[in-house]
Structure 1
Amino acid sequence: MNLISLAHAQAAAPQAGPESTLVSLLPIVVMFVILYFVMIRPQMRRQKEVKAMIEALAKGDEVVTTGGLVGRVAKVGDNYIQLEIADKLEVQVQRSAVSMVLPKGTIKSA
């Protein structure tokens, strides 16, 4: 009989209030805020920089593609660029394939 009265006493304990629920969700919210500032925000900034670099491509820029081709931009279109990789040898690549714009004079003419 003593055990039954203990069980009833435990069941009658006061329930957690709304502030307790808020405190238990606080670590999850803090983790999402940290995740945003550590991973998501820098990635969005990098994407903006890459997009600005690709939009700013102009004739005469020296670039490196994601495939490793190094050349000088000969012609710029909406989606594609003509890339001169050797004397009188041009290839057409997508603008999004450009990974880096090199400083002027990096490519030496042979």
Structure 2
Amino acid sequence: MDILLQAATGAGGGMGTSLLMMVAIIAVFYFFMIRPQQKKQKDVQKAREAMKVGDKVVTAGGIHGRIKEIGETWFLVEVADGVKLKFEKTSVFASSSDVTTP
């Protein structure tokens, strides 16, 4: 009878421990992977909203230019004298303080 009671309490304790370990792994994953990524995305979004006409920018494709016009979801960027390209805001990553163009 004692053996059955010990086996029952041992199995229940193991399940609680594995559940606790799973919760700990998820918490570590959240604080070291997901949360910093969300913070970085929020900072990039804030930087995009702060961009204004005249700022130097770099696109996701590596194109350097200066903002000439801003729309709801796009930037019109002048990449050379008289050459203007329209980019989605999500593809522009750096502004004047982050860019050094010749």
Q: Same fold (TM over 0.5)?
A: yes
Which protein is richer in helix relative to its size?
A: 2
Give the superposition deviation at 1:16. 2.2
| Counterpart in the other structure of 1:16 | 9
| Counterpart in the other structure of 2:57 | 63
Matches within 5 A, 1:1-110: 13-14=4-5, 15-16=8-9, 20=13, 21-103=15-97, 106-108=100-102
Tell which deviates more after alignment, 35-44 or 23-32. Answer: 23-32
Percent identity of equivalent pairs: 32
Stretches of structure 1 that go unaligned for 5 or more consecutive residues are 1-8
Number of matched residues? 99
Stretches of structure 2 that go unaligned for 5 or more consecutive residues are none
Q: Partners in 2 of 1:85 and 1:106 — Cα distance?
A: 14
Contact 1:61 1:104 in 2 (8 A): no
TM-score, length of structure 1 as denominator length: 0.78
Q: Partners in 2 of 1:85 and 1:13 — Cα distance?
A: 78
Tell me, what secondary structure is at the counterpart of 1:75? strand
TM-score, length of structure 2 as denominator length: 0.83
Give the superposition deviation at 1:103. 2.3
CA RMSD of aligned residues (A): 2.4
